Structure formats: C-alpha cells, structure tokens
Amino acid sequence: MNGAESLVRTLVGGGVDVCFANPGTSEMHFVAALDRVEGMRCVLGLFEGVVTGAADGYARMSEKPAATLLHLGPGLANGLANIHNANKASSPMINIVGDHATYHRKYDAPLTSDIEGLARPSSHWVKTSPDAKSIAADGAAAIAAARTLPGQIATLILPADTAWNDGASPAPVPAVAGPKPVSGEAITEAARALRSGEPCLILLTGRALRQDGLELAGKIAAKTGARLMAQGSNARTQRGRGRVFLERVPYVVDQATKVLAGFKHIILVGTKMPVAFFAYPNKPSLLAPADAQGHLLARLDEDMIGALGALSEEVDALRTPVPVTNTPAPSKASGRITPEALGASLAALLPENAIVVDEAVTTGRGFFAPTCAAAPHDWLSNMGGSIGLGMPLATGAAVACPDRKVITLEGDGSAMYTLQALWTQAREGLDVTTLLFSNRSYQILKGELANVGAGNPGRKALDMLDLDNPDLDFVALAKGMGVPGARVTDMEAFNRRLAEGIATPGPYLVEIVC
C-alpha cells in the first residue's frame, strides 16, 4: 500500500468520506487510490474556490469535515478565499495539498512555492508530511485537528514521493475533546444581568442557532423580557414557521447602532460584542452603546446548549412556552420585481426543510425578515465576507443532504467569482435551485462609496461598479455548464420559475433582472 492509499484509508476509517477535488500531476496517486478504496466519494470542481466552498457547505450540514484535494501552492491559493470563509464560520476542513517530491523541491521547478506560508493565515493546523510512512498518522492528526471544536482548518501537504512510496497501515484518529463545560460564574453573571431590570439582549451564533439552542434561548427571553438576536452572519440558523423568531444585527452601521441603542447588557452566546463589517469615517467600529456591558455566557468551543439549559433553569424559564413564529403564511407577490416582492414570494414558495444559502448581498438584504414565516428551513450565510461562496456552499450542502432542496440566493457580482460550481451541480445531479439576482452592478459598492464619504462617482469610478456593458447572460452561462434556466422580469414569471425549480430535481437557475 503506497502512502496515498494509506492516507485515503485513514480518511475513510476516520469518517471522512467525501473529498472535493481539483487534482494535478502531484495528486495522481491519491486519485488512483480512490479506485482501490471503498467508501470515498470524490467530487470534482473545475476551480479550487468551488472545492473549498463546497467543503464548507458540506461541513455545515453534515457536522463533519470533508477533505479537499488541491494542486500545490497555486491550487491552494485559488481555494484560500473560501477557506477564509470556512475558517470564520468555524467549519471543519481537511485540505490535502500535493507538492513536488521532496527531493525535487530544491530545483525550484515552475510550480514550486511556499505552501506552508500560504496555508498558515487561514489554517489552525499545517504540516508537510515528511515521508510515506508518516502520512497515515499525519492524516489522522489532520482529522483530529479539523474536528477540534468549534471546527478548524487543517492543511496537510503531501509531497509526491510521500504518496508513491510504501506507506504504513491506516492510522486511527486521536480522541477529540467534546465541548468544554461553561463555568457556574458565567451562568450566574448572565442571570444577574437578565434579572437587573435593565434592557438586555441575548446575542447568539454558532451551535446556539439550531432548534434546541433557540428554543432554550427563546424561553429565557420570553421569561425575562430580554430581546433575542443573532449576529449579522451565521453559519447555520434553523428558522421558519413554528420555530423561534429571531432578528439579526443589520449590516448597515446606522441601522445596527439604532437597533442596539438602549441595551445595557448583552449576553454573548458564541459571539463577541458586535463589530461593523467595515470601518467608515466618523462611524463607530463597535456597534453597541458605549455603556452596554457584555456578559460572555459561552464561547464557540464551549457547551452552548448546556449553558443555555443551565441559564434557563437559573431564571426559571424551563416551563416557559417556546415563543414560536406564528405569523400567517405569506402570499406570493405579483407585478413588478422589488426586493420586498421577491422576499414575499420566496417565503410563500420555500419548501419544507429547504436549505437556503444566502449570498444575495444587496437585493437579498430584506429576505431574512419575511422568510421567518416560511416553512421550516436552514439558513446559511457567508461569515468571512469574501464573496464567491454562495454557489460552492450550496453545492457542498446538497452533497451532504441529498434529500433536501437547496435554494441559493446569489448576487450577480458574487456569482462571477465561482460560477464553475454550476458544472459540479450538473455533474452530480445536485438538487439546487439558484436564484440569481441580476442588478447588473456591484450595487453594494454604490452604497459604500457614499458611506465612506468618497463623494459622487464620475464615469471612471462608476465603470468599476457597474456590471453592464456587456450585460451578463446567466441563462447562457448556466447552459454552458449544463444547468437549465430561465430569465424573469416580473413576479408572475418569478413565481412560476421558482416553483418549477423547486418541483424539478437537479440544478436549475432563475435569473431575476432587478
């Protein structure tokens, strides 16, 4: 058994049974080993940003790491933006990066680069496996590193000769600690704040945004009069009809400071005190009032559910009814396409148990509120702010959950970074409907230009923000990658095409000109 096979067997033995890949020469032994090892599903992406974003989506939905297979430093580099996003989302991921044979590196062949240097900024764990006998144990250590809570990025560099020389037996994965228990003091402090009679916010993210966590948090809020909110972006939120109603901190600084005004206490559940996405001249970086006190209930790697349980007991909320959303089911909108109309129709048509991937940036900013009344679903956001995550994330989520419909809310600007994800969706027959909001500009930047006080843009500045001239034709682009689609320019057509996408298994794209 060569090193590559010992690694693949270690991965499968350690429960890592999906590999998103864009391999090259130095990874050929790994690829060949796939034929000899049962139990590893390998999914090809035509660009590495698709590969790493899909691994993120897979991890968020399956709660375990996928492997990625990348080709030397430049292959890793192409995947780094979505590794950055995965890192910020605390998604576990195991990147396997091929390298030149150990003895070949000194000759500085064209693809030679400092792979460890490239990996380090977004990886918690980086190792170059020194020889074929070590690769199984290194692979097992990478799995353990990725699984370390709250979820980490492990990057294992695999020189070609460590893949083709004789390897050792597959290695068992070292034990990984479960979530750390939260101290009694943290519970007591939070309870004291909740009982203070002063305005109090419970701010959640991470594992606390699943149904169990939200039900506990909802009871606490209902019992104590505290307000419940998620941070601006979250890896995965369970919401919709019959679930706990939840706001989130707005992106726009002025809106965020307004929403947070008046709070004296913020109970932090996996979060830190809310921070502006960007700095703007004469606007604050910290969004909460200066006199608001933060109370850390649980960190991301701590037992958030246990802490919420203990806190609900402490404030005597265990028997408080869960405050669920019971807004009437929304109705489809008609007529002209507006963000509000789209939000209403999306809420009305969203199928039960859908996975919504949100990278709609400007057009979709208002979709969160109306969809609280939609059928129960999971909502996945971009936590690292590097656009180009949406379609890859949807791809990975669909691989993890073949029985659930995935709906991607995608802006046209964001879509163009990693459009190749559509091809993988077509090849794998993934059940993803992409709603492509085509406002033909980096619309968010037009707002940001004003927000940063850069004045009214002239022709040259506008040319950097507009995506027209020529217009992108997303139906043609989707067709080019084997995905059927349609363009809509009014709400009736939108409703019809979205329903069609939902009813049809496999990938489908609706371009919404708005």
Q: Rule CB under 8 A: which of 313-372 touch a copy of itself? A: none
Task: List the interface residues with a copy of itself, window 81-120 (CB under 8 A).
Answer: 81, 84-85, 88, 100-101, 103-104, 107-111, 113-114, 117-118, 120
Burial of 284 (0-12, 13-18, 19+ CB in 10 A): middle
Q: Which stretch binds a copy of itself (CB under 8 A): 28-36, 170-178, 207-215, 335-343?
A: 28-36
**Does residue 150 have a cis peptide bond before it, meaning omega lies within 30 degrees of 0?**
yes
Nearest to 103 by CA among 166, 161, 26, 24: 161
Using CB under 8 A as the binding rule, whether residue 32 contacts a copy of itself is answered as yes
Amino acid at 309: G
- Is 112 or 325 the residue whose CB approaches a copy of itself more closely? 112
Q: Are 263 and 291 in contact (CB under 8 A)?
A: no
Beta-carbon contacts of 484 under 8 Å, excluding residues fewer than 6 positions away, are 478, 507, 508, 509
**Max CA separation in the chain (angstroms):** 70
Angle at CA of residue 72, ends 54 and 113, nearest 5°:
135
Rounded least distance, CB 173 to a copy of itself, Å: 23
Using CB under 8 A as the binding rule, whether residue 290 contacts a copy of itself is answered as no
One of 479, 486, 487, 499 touching a copy of itself (CB under 8 A) = 479
One of 39, 130, 471, 489 touching a copy of itself (CB under 8 A) = 471
Task: List the interface residues with a copy of itself, window 427-456 (CB under 8 A).
Answer: 427, 444-445, 448-449, 451-455
Question: In 137-233, where do the E strands start and end?
Answer: 153-159, 200-204, 227-230
- Is 104 or 227 the residue whose CB approaches a copy of itself more closely? 104
> How far is residue 324 CA from its own chain's centroid?
25
One of 167, 213, 392, 413 touching a copy of itself (CB under 8 A) = 413
Rounded least distance, CB 435 to a copy of itself, Å: 17
- Is 120 or 336 the residue whose CB approaches a copy of itself more closely? 120
Task: List the interface residues with a copy of itself, window 255-274 (CB under 8 A).
Answer: 272
Using CB under 8 A as the binding rule, whether residue 486 contacts a copy of itself is answered as no
Using CB under 8 A as the binding rule, whether residue 3 contacts a copy of itself is answered as no
Written as six digits, the tokens of 394 are 């949807």
Task: List the interface residues with a copy of itself, window 143-172 (CB under 8 A).
Answer: 160-161, 164
Q: What separation in angstroms does the CA of 323 have from each of 229, 263, 291, 470?
A: 14, 21, 29, 49
Using CB under 8 A as the binding rule, whether residue 512 contacts a copy of itself is answered as no
Task: List the interface residues with a copy of itself, window 46-65 (CB under 8 A).
Answer: 46-47, 49
